[in-house]
Amino acid sequence: MAEQQKGWRGTTIISVRKGGKVVIAGDGQVSLGDTVIKANARKVRALGDGSVVAGFAGSTADAFALFERLEGKLERYNGQLLRACVEMAKDWRTDRYLRRLEAMMIVVDKEVSLVLTGNGDVLESADGILAIGSGGNYALAAARALLDQDLDAEQVARKAMNIAADICVYTNNTLTVEILDTK
Protein backbone atom coordinates (compact mmCIF):
# COMPACT_ATOMS: atom_id res chain seq x y z
CA MET A 1 0.00 0.00 0.00
CA ALA A 2 2.81 2.45 0.79
CA GLU A 3 4.21 1.94 -2.70
CA GLN A 4 0.81 2.65 -4.28
CA GLN A 5 0.41 5.86 -2.27
CA LYS A 6 3.94 7.00 -3.02
CA GLY A 7 3.14 9.28 -5.92
CA TRP A 8 1.18 10.21 -8.98
CA ARG A 9 0.80 7.42 -11.48
CA GLY A 10 0.37 7.02 -15.14
CA THR A 11 -1.11 8.45 -18.22
CA THR A 12 -1.07 7.66 -21.89
CA ILE A 13 0.04 9.98 -24.68
CA ILE A 14 0.20 8.94 -28.33
CA SER A 15 1.24 10.66 -31.53
CA VAL A 16 0.26 9.42 -34.98
CA ARG A 17 1.59 10.87 -38.24
CA LYS A 18 -0.42 9.79 -41.29
CA GLY A 19 -2.03 11.22 -44.41
CA GLY A 20 -0.86 14.82 -44.13
CA LYS A 21 -1.70 15.17 -40.43
CA VAL A 22 0.03 14.64 -37.12
CA VAL A 23 -2.07 14.06 -34.02
CA ILE A 24 -1.25 13.96 -30.33
CA ALA A 25 -3.89 12.48 -28.04
CA GLY A 26 -3.72 12.18 -24.28
CA ASP A 27 -6.03 10.77 -21.65
CA GLY A 28 -7.36 12.86 -18.80
CA GLN A 29 -6.82 10.65 -15.76
CA VAL A 30 -4.67 11.71 -12.83
CA SER A 31 -4.22 9.00 -10.21
CA LEU A 32 -2.71 8.98 -6.74
CA GLY A 33 -2.10 5.37 -5.78
CA ASP A 34 -5.30 3.51 -6.55
CA THR A 35 -7.49 6.63 -6.48
CA VAL A 36 -8.52 8.70 -9.49
CA ILE A 37 -7.96 12.31 -8.44
CA LYS A 38 -9.07 13.94 -11.69
CA ALA A 39 -10.63 12.47 -14.83
CA ASN A 40 -10.33 15.38 -17.25
CA ALA A 41 -6.79 16.77 -16.96
CA ARG A 42 -5.38 18.38 -20.09
CA LYS A 43 -1.99 16.81 -20.85
CA VAL A 44 -1.73 17.88 -24.49
CA ARG A 45 -1.32 21.47 -25.65
CA ALA A 46 -0.12 23.68 -28.46
CA LEU A 47 3.09 25.59 -27.72
CA GLY A 48 4.36 28.95 -28.88
CA ASP A 49 2.56 30.12 -32.00
CA GLY A 50 0.65 26.83 -32.29
CA SER A 51 3.05 25.21 -34.76
CA VAL A 52 4.27 22.76 -32.09
CA VAL A 53 2.10 20.41 -30.06
CA ALA A 54 3.30 18.62 -26.93
CA GLY A 55 1.94 15.98 -24.59
CA PHE A 56 3.40 14.86 -21.27
CA ALA A 57 3.46 11.88 -18.98
CA GLY A 58 4.64 12.27 -15.41
CA SER A 59 4.43 14.98 -12.80
CA THR A 60 2.14 17.80 -13.89
CA ALA A 61 4.17 20.60 -12.30
CA ASP A 62 7.36 19.19 -13.81
CA ALA A 63 5.75 18.95 -17.23
CA PHE A 64 4.61 22.58 -17.12
CA ALA A 65 8.15 23.64 -16.20
CA LEU A 66 9.41 21.65 -19.21
CA PHE A 67 6.77 23.18 -21.51
CA GLU A 68 7.99 26.66 -20.49
CA ARG A 69 11.62 25.70 -21.10
CA LEU A 70 10.79 24.23 -24.49
CA GLU A 71 8.85 27.34 -25.50
CA GLY A 72 11.93 29.40 -24.60
CA LYS A 73 14.15 27.14 -26.69
CA LEU A 74 11.73 27.37 -29.62
CA GLU A 75 11.91 31.17 -29.44
CA ARG A 76 15.68 31.11 -29.22
CA TYR A 77 16.04 28.75 -32.22
CA ASN A 78 13.35 30.35 -34.41
CA GLY A 79 10.84 27.50 -34.15
CA GLN A 80 13.32 24.77 -35.17
CA LEU A 81 11.85 21.94 -33.11
CA LEU A 82 14.67 19.42 -33.47
CA ARG A 83 17.33 21.96 -32.52
CA ALA A 84 15.26 23.27 -29.60
CA CYS A 85 14.71 19.71 -28.33
CA VAL A 86 18.38 18.75 -28.56
CA GLU A 87 19.35 21.87 -26.62
CA MET A 88 16.62 21.25 -24.06
CA ALA A 89 17.69 17.61 -23.62
CA LYS A 90 21.24 18.79 -22.93
CA ASP A 91 19.94 21.17 -20.27
CA TRP A 92 17.60 18.56 -18.83
CA ARG A 93 20.44 16.12 -18.38
CA THR A 94 22.99 18.55 -16.94
CA ASP A 95 21.02 21.19 -15.00
CA ARG A 96 20.59 20.34 -11.28
CA TYR A 97 17.02 21.60 -11.17
CA LEU A 98 15.89 20.03 -14.42
CA ARG A 99 17.50 16.65 -13.61
CA ARG A 100 15.01 16.22 -10.79
CA LEU A 101 11.98 16.67 -13.03
CA GLU A 102 9.99 13.49 -13.54
CA ALA A 103 8.22 13.67 -16.87
CA MET A 104 8.50 12.62 -20.49
CA MET A 105 7.21 14.52 -23.47
CA ILE A 106 6.13 13.89 -27.03
CA VAL A 107 6.55 16.97 -29.20
CA VAL A 108 5.60 17.35 -32.85
CA ASP A 109 5.57 19.90 -35.61
CA LYS A 110 4.74 19.53 -39.29
CA GLU A 111 8.10 17.86 -40.00
CA VAL A 112 9.17 15.77 -37.01
CA SER A 113 7.79 13.78 -34.04
CA LEU A 114 10.04 13.37 -31.00
CA VAL A 115 10.11 11.89 -27.51
CA LEU A 116 12.11 13.85 -24.92
CA THR A 117 13.29 12.25 -21.68
CA GLY A 118 15.23 13.34 -18.63
CA ASN A 119 18.03 11.01 -19.66
CA GLY A 120 18.93 13.36 -22.49
CA ASP A 121 17.11 11.32 -25.12
CA VAL A 122 15.64 12.92 -28.22
CA LEU A 123 14.03 10.03 -30.06
CA GLU A 124 12.37 10.21 -33.47
CA SER A 125 9.72 7.80 -34.64
CA ALA A 126 10.60 5.34 -37.41
CA ASP A 127 6.97 4.69 -38.38
CA GLY A 128 5.16 7.90 -37.46
CA ILE A 129 3.88 6.61 -34.11
CA LEU A 130 5.14 7.47 -30.63
CA ALA A 131 3.61 6.68 -27.25
CA ILE A 132 4.60 7.28 -23.63
CA GLY A 133 3.17 6.70 -20.18
CA SER A 134 1.77 3.74 -18.32
CA GLY A 135 -0.53 2.79 -21.19
CA GLY A 136 1.93 3.83 -23.88
CA ASN A 137 2.90 0.35 -25.01
CA TYR A 138 -0.74 -0.68 -25.33
CA ALA A 139 -1.56 2.42 -27.40
CA LEU A 140 1.59 1.97 -29.49
CA ALA A 141 0.76 -1.65 -30.33
CA ALA A 142 -2.85 -0.78 -31.15
CA ALA A 143 -1.85 2.15 -33.39
CA ARG A 144 0.68 0.03 -35.26
CA ALA A 145 -2.00 -2.60 -35.87
CA LEU A 146 -4.42 0.09 -37.11
CA LEU A 147 -1.97 2.09 -39.22
CA ASP A 148 -2.60 0.21 -42.47
CA GLN A 149 -6.39 0.46 -42.09
CA ASP A 150 -8.51 3.00 -43.95
CA LEU A 151 -8.38 5.41 -41.00
CA ASP A 152 -6.94 8.90 -40.72
CA ALA A 153 -4.36 9.88 -38.09
CA GLU A 154 -6.98 11.11 -35.62
CA GLN A 155 -9.07 7.95 -35.94
CA VAL A 156 -6.00 5.76 -35.37
CA ALA A 157 -5.00 7.80 -32.30
CA ARG A 158 -8.49 7.75 -30.81
CA LYS A 159 -8.97 4.00 -31.33
CA ALA A 160 -5.50 3.25 -29.93
CA MET A 161 -6.19 5.40 -26.86
CA ASN A 162 -9.51 3.66 -26.26
CA ILE A 163 -7.78 0.28 -26.42
CA ALA A 164 -5.12 1.48 -23.96
CA ALA A 165 -7.85 2.81 -21.63
CA ASP A 166 -9.52 -0.61 -21.66
CA ILE A 167 -6.26 -2.26 -20.52
CA CYS A 168 -4.36 0.26 -18.35
CA VAL A 169 -6.01 1.22 -15.05
CA TYR A 170 -4.07 4.51 -15.04
CA THR A 171 -5.57 5.62 -18.37
CA ASN A 172 -9.11 6.74 -19.17
CA ASN A 173 -10.96 7.57 -22.38
CA THR A 174 -11.47 11.27 -21.68
CA LEU A 175 -9.20 12.51 -24.47
CA THR A 176 -7.55 15.74 -25.42
CA VAL A 177 -6.59 15.72 -29.11
CA GLU A 178 -4.52 18.27 -30.99
CA ILE A 179 -3.98 18.07 -34.77
CA LEU A 180 -1.48 19.75 -37.10
CA ASP A 181 -1.53 19.73 -40.89
CA THR A 182 1.81 18.52 -42.25
CA LYS A 183 1.30 19.61 -45.85
Cβ 91 vs Cβ 101: under 8 Å: no
Give CA–CA dist 86/28, Å, rounded. 28
- How does residue 94 score in pLDDT terms, banded at 50, 70 and 90? confident
Mean pLDDT of 104-108: 94
What was the pLDDT predicted at 155?
Answer: 98
- As a 3-state breakdown, the chain gives helix, strand, coil percent values, each rounded to 5, of 35, 30, 35
pTM (two decimals): 0.91
Amino acid in the structure at residue 102: E
Helix (H) or strand (E) holding 179, with range, is strand 176-181
- The pLDDT, as a whole number, for residue 98 is 66
Enumerate the domain spans of the chain: 2-168
182 is catalytic: no
- For residue 48, the model assigns a pLDDT of 84
CA 172 to chain centre: 15
- The rounded radius of gyration (Å) of the Cα atoms in the chain is 16
> Dihedrals φ, ψ of 147, to 5°?
-60, -35
pLDDT at 7 over 70: no
* Cα separation, 126 vs 28, whole angstroms: 27
Identified catalytic residue from 11, 12, 171, 182: 11
Of 69, 152, 63, give the one whose Cα is nearest residue 104: 63
End-to-end CA distance of the chain: 50
Mean pLDDT score, 100-113: 88
Pick the CATH number of 2-168 from 3.30.70.20, 3.40.50.720, 3.60.20.10, 3.40.50.620: 3.60.20.10
- Cα(24)–Cα(45) distance, integer angstroms: 9
Q: Sign of torsion, CA 128 133 137 142?
A: negative
DSSP label of 112: -
Model confidence at 1: pLDDT above 50: no
Determine the Cα–Cα distance for residues 179 and 17; give it in Å rounded to an integer.
10
Mean pLDDT calculated for residue range 29-34: 85
